[in-house]
Amino acid sequence: MEERVKCVTCDRNFKDEEGLQSHNKAKHPELVSKERKPLNIKKIRNGSLVIVSIVGILSLIAYGISNIQTLPPTDIDGHIEVNPPSHILKEPLSIAIQKHMLEHADGIEKGREGIIINYNCKDYECEEDLINNLEAFATKYDYVYVAPFKRMDAKIALTKLNKIEILEEFDNEKIEKFILS
């Protein structure tokens, strides 16, 4: 005599255990015990390597960005045809206008290239007379501009077309030489 197997949930009969298991998978999946698959070590290792690589690349990018120096421009790409209100400025000069002054002082077409002296006394400790000493160059030379530059990574930056000189302290001779060269 054939042994019959009965589903306890819906009271149906099956001819063998295999039929009951198929029925339970299809109709009562909550009753079927889940098979535990062994951990796939290769997938875990490869996934970990991908995550570590991504974190490493992002860290390098962040490190590179954080170490970019902020300095005044030395080229004229992206300049605008606008002149500053004065050669001595108490507010920062926009990058686009600085570039225009590097092209030609006072915006005079085919005129002399300008020189800009930027200083940063917000992030650096400046001598009491530093700004007055720098402004004296703008008074002496009609193609020199002096302006503060916020968050610049230098105390003093001298710029002309395609050239920059960074100074950590006021040096009259170096500034004069830069202007006249």
Report pLDDT for 40: 83
Is 117 a domain residue?
A: yes
Which one of 66, 86, 105 terminates a domain? 66
Token duo for residue 75: 């080229």
Domain that holds residue 17: 5-66
pLDDT digits (tens, 9 = 90+) for 102-133: 998 877 777 789 999 999 999 999 999 999 99
DSSP symbols for 142-157: TTEEEEE-TT-SSSEE
- The dihedral built from the CA positions of residue 82, 85, 87 and 88, taken in this order, carries a sign that is negative
H helices of 67-126, in order, are 95-103
pTM: 0.64
pLDDT digits (tens, 9 = 90+) for 4-62: 888 888 888 888 888 888 888 888 887 777 667 777 888 889 999 999 999 999 998 88
Is 40 a domain residue?
A: yes
Is 18 a domain residue?
A: yes
